[in-house]
Amino acid sequence: MQILENLISAFSVLRGSKLRTILTLLGITIGIAGVIAMMSFGAGAEKLMMTQIESIGGPSMFGVYRPGYIEKNNRWQRNTSPHYLEMRDLHDILASCPSVEVATVERSHPIDFEVEGKHRRTYLRATTNEYQAVRRWQTEYGRFIADTDMDFWNKVCVIGARVWKEQFKGQDPLGQEVGIDNKRFTVIGIMESRGDGLEMGKSDDNMIFIPITTAQTRFGGRNRVGAIMARAKSIELVEQALKEVKTVIMRNHGDDDTFFRTWNAKKGIEGGRRIIFIIEMVLVVIASVALIVAGIGILNIMLVSVTERIPEIGLRKAVGAKSFDIRLQFLTESVLLCLIGSLLGIAFGAVVGKGFAWAVSQFFNELSWPSVITLEAVLISVAAGTAIGVFFGYYPASQAAKMTPIDAIRHT
């Protein structure tokens, strides 16, 4: 009952000094909005990262590749190893690695893609029919590369969604002949849209897919492949599957473990989250400066309020109010002021976060940055507002509580 009375009294006091209340709320609102906007930025970055991870096949994905340069003795040197990843490595991995669910190979390089005399620079990705299972990616129209295409080195291709929309203007391309580096291929399918990626110009929707055997015979490279991509049977088996794959590759290449490198999505997620958390905390700390300034404003306003209401304090004490009651009354006003500012700040921060995400998306034309307001961010903001109200309101409240009725009467 006493809390309800204090809330009613606090609302009455805040309404009585509208301009002062609005100016104080403005400081809290800006501070909380900054915190919300920065946390929205961090949550958007994490969501974008997880979207990208899912687009390559999920957190249980991993891969092996032969880099052009390797680090030796703290120096980057050209990879001069005579060993290359080959198709036999893929076959042995599928046969000898029990922790691997599915695997494929890929080889990518830029190409000139031509449709009815119209050219565009895009990327070729040569792979196998298991590519769909590894990436969990289906065709929207037509079909993907089949075993027969692999066996007979068929000159067929599957195009990305953006290539279809921009090069064919949404018309049916199935069965049409196209040019890939001046070689004629037949379109057999269109991939589902995966959206824009983080790497500029290398969106999956901008890719052209052909059989790896066709690429090896038509574009050179013999039996070599650029990378091997695989997915473990579960995220818990990623390290074990990677160990099995490395064992197979080393066995096939004279125990040489220096010519290839590995990556896995699980470790990338962990590292990415750590980096995002650090950046987010730095931004939140910077934004919190406005909260501290707003808290100092609360302290100043509450001290002024105590000075103005000395007669009221003396009267309440004279009729039996205890120091605890006076302290609670002023703390209620301070916390209420901060909570109202927090709620306004959450709403304003959501708008600022969306605006920031839109600006980033406009700056990076091929990147759609999401704006995410999490429950955690809302709860932290409310808790921060409450803490600011208690911390900066306690001293003025204590000063009011220490007054004696006789001091108040003399002041009057």
Residue 365 lies in a domain: yes
Q: Structurally, how many domains does the chain consist of?
A: 2
Stretch 167-192: mean pLDDT: 94
pLDDT of residue 214: 95
Q: Is the pLDDT of residue 1 over 50?
A: no
% of the chain surpassing 90 pLDDT: 41
Is residue 256 within 8 Å of residue 81, measured between CB atoms?
yes
| Domain closes at, from 211, 237, 259 | 259
| Domain closes at, from 259, 281, 306 | 259
Domain membership of residue 294 as a residue range = 2-54+270-411
Residues 255 and 189 reside in one and the same domain: yes
| Domain closes at, from 201, 234, 259 | 259
Mean pLDDT of the chain: 86
Residues 104 and 216 reside in one and the same domain: yes
Residue 87 lies in a domain: yes
Residue partners of 205: CB distance under 8 A and separation at least 6: 160, 161, 162, 163, 191, 193, 194, 195, 196
User: Scanning the structure block, which residue is given the tokens 């969106």?
Assistant: 203
Residues 282 and 391 reside in one and the same domain: yes
More confident of the two residues 205 and 197 = 205
Residue partners of 354: CB distance under 8 A and separation at least 6: 40, 371
- Give the Cα separation of 361 and 383 in Å (integer): 31
Residues 93 and 231 reside in one and the same domain: yes
Q: Cα dihedral angle (349, 351, 352, 354), rounded to 10 degrees?
A: 120
Q: Is the pLDDT of residue 10 over 90?
A: no
Residues 287 and 155 reside in one and the same domain: no
Nearest CA-CA partner of 105 in 197, 248, 224, 258 = 224
Residue 388 lies in a domain: yes
Residues 150 and 279 reside in one and the same domain: no
- Give the Cα separation of 366 and 147 in Å (integer): 34
Nearest CA-CA partner of 307 in 406, 403, 405 = 403
* pLDDT single digits (tens) 208-256: 999 999 999 988 767 889 999 999 999 999 999 999 999 999 999 999 9
pLDDT of residue 132: 94
More confident of the two residues 354 and 227 = 227
Confidence of residue 406 (pLDDT cuts 50, 70, 90): low
pLDDT of residue 241: 96
Residue partners of 245: CB distance under 8 A and separation at least 6: 62, 64, 93, 97, 100, 103, 228, 230, 262
- Give the Cα separation of 185 and 183 in Å (integer): 7
* pLDDT single digits (tens) 356-401: 888 877 777 656 788 888 888 888 888 888 888 888 888 887 887 7
pLDDT of residue 387: 87
Residues 252 and 305 reside in one and the same domain: no
Nearest CA-CA partner of 36 in 392, 371, 390, 360 = 371
Residue 59 lies in a domain: no
Stretch 73-85: mean pLDDT: 89
Residues 120 and 248 reside in one and the same domain: yes
Q: Is the pLDDT of residue 338 over 80?
A: yes
Residue 264 lies in a domain: no
pLDDT of residue 262: 94
Q: What DSSP line would sit under 291-313, residue for residue?
A: HHHHHHHHHHHHHHHHHHTHHHH
For the chain, give percent helix, strand, coil, nearest 5: 60, 20, 25
Q: Cα dihedral angle (170, 171, 175, 180), rounded to 10 degrees?
A: -50
Is residue 223 within 8 Å of residue 86, measured between CB atoms?
yes
Residues 153 and 238 reside in one and the same domain: yes
Structure tokens at 20: 């002062």
Residue 60 lies in a domain: no
Burial 176-202 (b: 16+ CB within 10 A, else e): eebbbeeeebebbbbbeebebbeeeee
Q: CA of 299: how far to CAs of 154, 389, 390, 391, 397, in Å?
A: 77, 9, 10, 9, 10
pLDDT of residue 104: 97
Residue partners of 100: CB distance under 8 A and separation at least 6: 93, 94, 230, 231, 232, 233, 241, 244, 245
- Give the Cα separation of 205 and 160 in Å (integer): 4
Residue partners of 343: CB distance under 8 A and separation at least 6: 382
Residues 49 and 72 reside in one and the same domain: no
Residues 111 and 10 reside in one and the same domain: no
pLDDT of residue 411: 57
Residue 62 lies in a domain: no
pLDDT of residue 90: 95
pLDDT of residue 156: 97
Stretch 131-151: mean pLDDT: 94
Is residue 20 within 8 Å of residue 301, measured between CB atoms?
yes
Indicate the range of 160-174, 175-189, 301-315, 396-410 predicted with least confidence: 396-410
Q: Is the pLDDT of residue 128 over 70?
A: yes
Residues 23 and 139 reside in one and the same domain: no
Residue 311 lies in a domain: yes
Confidence of residue 40 (pLDDT cuts 50, 70, 90): confident
